[in-house]
Amino acid sequence: MALDLSAIGRPIGPIVREYGWKDVILYALSVGAGFDEPLYTWEKDLKVIPTFSVATIFDFFWAVAKHSNLNPRGALHGEQEVVFHSAIPVSGTLTTNGTITNMFDKGKKGAIIRGESTTVHSSGTRLYTSVMSIFSRLDGGFGGQEGMSRAVEFPGREPDGAIDARPSPDQPLLYRLTGDFFALHVDPAFARAAGFEKPIMHGLCTFGFACRALLQCLIPGEPERTKRIACRFTSPLYPGEPIRTLIWKTADGNALWRVIHAATGRSVIDGGEFEYGTR
């Protein structure tokens, strides 16, 4: 198996998905929301957690993987960025179009496959642009460009906010119902073959926990003010392990963040950026 470099620039889509308030609430529950956040878990005055956006485009992720011809046993989410053009309505039909924009060769470490997509609501409103990368651990060494990663420099001071959470030992079983059915998060045999003790958390599930923490700390009750969120996934997390989202305010409407393992201090998500304000 080898990466298909001819897939770079090939159109992917349109990918169409209908959704409603139950999908919005299921997503919120799957990233740790509960009775203390009725804004996200009750259809009365319901609002959408911004990272619901990534749950609506799982089919684009799968298409990137299929078109690139990567080895699925080595695939992990590498980086994720979402730029929001408008607030996400609680229901409608979404149409997503995108492409694989590049493939980078990290040699023995693996390869990076990057894809970009834009999603439009059935009202005609452009909602968000996603830039994602898959870190494919078994597909390096094809002679391509190495590429560069985003560089984020954190302040040399204590964070302005620290939000603790503990995903359930069964969290992936709930999160996968939002559409991410990758076997790594449910099948013990597949997880062991991929080099893990057992199924691991979806990186995008932890991403959702972090988004909730950012909303709570910076714009409580106003998720529609989110303009951009980006990060790099740095190490796996097993279900049931405690996490802490650390947040630094760096300017008006800007913050940096990371997620660490609350017991060991190990970085789980790093290089986090968050932009918010009035559009």
Domain boundaries, the chain: 5-276
3-state secondary structure the chain: CCCCHHHECCEEEEEEEEECHHHHHHHHHHCCCCCCCHHHHCCCCCCCCCCHHHHCCHHHHHHHHHHHCCCHHHEEEEEEEEEECCCCCCCEEEEEEEEEEEEEECHHHCEEEEEEEEEEECCCCEEEEEEEEEEECCCCCCCCCCCCCCCCCCCCCCCCEEEEECCCCCHHHHHHHHCCCCHHHCCHHHHHHCCCCCCCCCHHHHHHHHHHHHHHHHCCCCHHHEEEEEEEECCCCCCCCCEEEEEEEEECCEEEEEEEECCCCCEEEEEEEEEECCC
Q: What is the pLDDT of residue 203?
A: 96
CATH of the structural domain 5-276, one choice from 3.40.50.460, 3.40.640.10, 3.40.50.300, 3.10.129.10: 3.10.129.10
- pLDDT at position 179 over 70: yes
Q: How far apart are CA 157 and CA 278, in angstroms?
A: 28
The alpha carbon dihedral of 118, 19, 167, 180 has a sign of: negative
Q: What is the pLDDT of residue 150?
A: 73
- pLDDT at position 279 over 80: no
- Average the pLDDT over each of 144-158, 176-190, 230-244 and give the range with the smallest value: 144-158
The alpha carbon dihedral of 84, 66, 173, 270 has a sign of: negative
Q: What is the dihedral of CA 271, 226, 275, 83, to 10 degrees?
A: 70
Q: What is the pLDDT of residue 107?
A: 87
Q: Which residues are catalytic?
A: 180, 185, 200, 203
Percent of the chain with pLDDT over 90: 84
Residues 46-79 have pLDDT tens digits of 999 999 999 999 999 999 989 999 888 888 889 9
Higher pLDDT, 194 or 239: 239
Q: What is the pLDDT of residue 1?
A: 59
Q: What is the pLDDT of residue 71?
A: 86
Mean pLDDT throughout 213-228?
98
Burial class (CB in 10 A: 0-12, 13-18, 19+), 187: middle
Please state whether beta strands 92-105 and 11-19 pair in parallel, antiparallel, or not at all (unpaired).
antiparallel
Q: What is the pLDDT of residue 136?
A: 87
Residues 6-31 have pLDDT tens digits of 899 999 999 999 999 999 999 999 99
Amino acid sitting at position 242: P
pLDDT band at 140 (very low <50, low <70, confident <90, very high): confident
Mean pLDDT throughout 224-236?
97
pLDDT band at 266 (very low <50, low <70, confident <90, very high): very high
The alpha carbon dihedral of 217, 223, 228, 232 has a sign of: positive
- Average the pLDDT over each of 128-142, 199-213, 231-245 and give the range with the smallest value: 128-142
